[in-house]
């Protein structure tokens, strides 16, 4: 679990995301009505989804800080990747529907919009989204919070949407004031198709990572190898033949199950000695990564390490 101060920082950032999403929803929907732009409407719907998901995220952030209980013996952190998977699926479905809608609009002749006002919206939305994404990404690196990290990616996607909309509207405005003005109505749906397809890999990656955590797949081998090396450095004064490590990541928690196959020279003076080994090892590893939770089992038969 993260510390109390980190949990408070996490709550503050998630509330910032919630309030900002609410503001962007109102501005985007108002501008969509005034400009008659489907791209801005899509941006507003995306922000509306972000707003409701931010409400859920705040609740989940509170849940994952609770200790284990009779219903959840290993705590609530498994809810974290489940929420991230759900959020990524909603973004993917939204993008797919937007692309199909844009294709229909393009086939029917396109969509005219008030590009001058749309350009001002694009500048505001682009700057705002990228600033919030940058703030959340910077803070998430110190919080070990997947919830804040995914929210940062969500705002980055929104920033890409807004930036692309801005560039498209500038191009459409130039076309409208050129001999090729008849092509200007096609810019809005073409832009929406490009946007919808271009951002799909980002929620797709979040979905894959979250799904791996839900099915309890091991973290990347590089991380497991580093944990093995750091753990071996903690056990230099112990006589053992083999170390078997299993790693599971669920949300912010990184759970280690360690089997130490002791050698013939291993001398046990008391049970307290084993407690000291576990406490000192876990303390050292948690200084490197506060999210680590660990159980150590000392065995003689290698077959028990499975």
Pick the more confident residue, 141 or 248: 248
Q: What is the pLDDT of residues 224-237, one digit of tens each?
A: 888 888 888 888 87
Is the pLDDT score of 166 beyond 70? yes
Q: What is the pLDDT of residues 58-80, one digit of tens each?
A: 777 777 677 777 776 666 777 87
Indicate the pLDDT class of residue 1, thresholds 50, 70 and 90.
Answer: very low
DSSP the chain: ---HHHHHHHHHHHHHHHHHHHHHHHHHHHHHHHHT-HHHHHHHHHHHHHHHHHHHHHHHHHHTTSPP-SS-TT-STTHHHHHHHHHHHHHHHHHHHHHHHHHHHHHTT-----HHHHHHHHHHHHHHHHHHHHHHHHHHHHHT-HHHHHHHHHHHHHHHHHHHHHHHHHHHHHHHTSTTGGGGGGHHHHHHHHHHHHSTHHHHHHHHHHHHHHTT----HHHHHHHHHHHHHHTTTS-EEEEEEEEEEETTEEEEEEEEEE-TT-----HHHHHHHHHHHHHHHHHH-TTEEEEEEEES-GGGG-
Out of 3.30.300.30, 3.40.50.720, 3.50.50.60, 3.30.70.1350, select the CATH number for domain 221-305.
Answer: 3.30.70.1350
Q: What is the CATH code for 4-214?
A: 1.20.1510.10
Domain residue limits, the chain: 4-214, 221-305
Whether the model clears a pTM of 0.75, i.e. scores above it, the answer is: no
């Amino acid at each position: 679990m993260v510390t109390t101060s980190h949990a408070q920082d996490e709550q503050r950032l998630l509330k910032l995301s919630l309030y900002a999403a609410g503001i962007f929803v109102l501005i985007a929907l108002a501008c969509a009505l005034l400009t008659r732009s489907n791209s801005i409407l899509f941006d507003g719907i995306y922000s509306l989804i972000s707003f409701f998901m931010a409400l859920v995220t705040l609740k989940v952030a509170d849940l994952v800080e609770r200790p284990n209980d009779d219903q959840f013996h290993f705590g609530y952190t498994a809810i974290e990747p489940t929420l991230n998977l759900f959020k990524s699926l909603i973004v993917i479905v939204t993008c797919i529907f937007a692309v199909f809608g844009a294709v229909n609009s393009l086939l029917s002749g396109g969509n005219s919009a008030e590009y001058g006002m749309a350009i001002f919206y694009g500048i505001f939305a682009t700057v705002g989204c990228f600033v919030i994404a940058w703030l959340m990404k910077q803070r998430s690196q110190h919080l070990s919070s997947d919830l804040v990290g995914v929210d940062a990616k969500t705002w980055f996607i929104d920033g890409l949407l807004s930036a692309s909309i801005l560039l498209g509207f500038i191009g459409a405005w130039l076309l409208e004031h050129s001999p090729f003005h008849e092509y200007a109505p096609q810019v809005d749906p073409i832009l929406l198709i490009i946007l919808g397809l271009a951002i799909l890999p980002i929620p797709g990656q979040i979905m894959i990572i979250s799904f791996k955590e839900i099915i309890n797949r091991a973290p990347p081998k590089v991380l497991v190898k580093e944990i093995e090396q750091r753990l071996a450095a903690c056990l230099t004064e112990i006589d053992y033949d083999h170390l078997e490590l299993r790693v599971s990541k669920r949300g912010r928690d990184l759970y280690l199950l360690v089997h130490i196959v002791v050698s013939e020279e291993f001398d046990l003076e008391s049970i307290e000695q084993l407690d000291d080994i576990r406490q000192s090892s876990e303390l050292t590893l948690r200084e490197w990564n506060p999210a680590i939770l660990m159980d150590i089992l000392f065995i003689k038969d290698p077959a028990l390490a499975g």
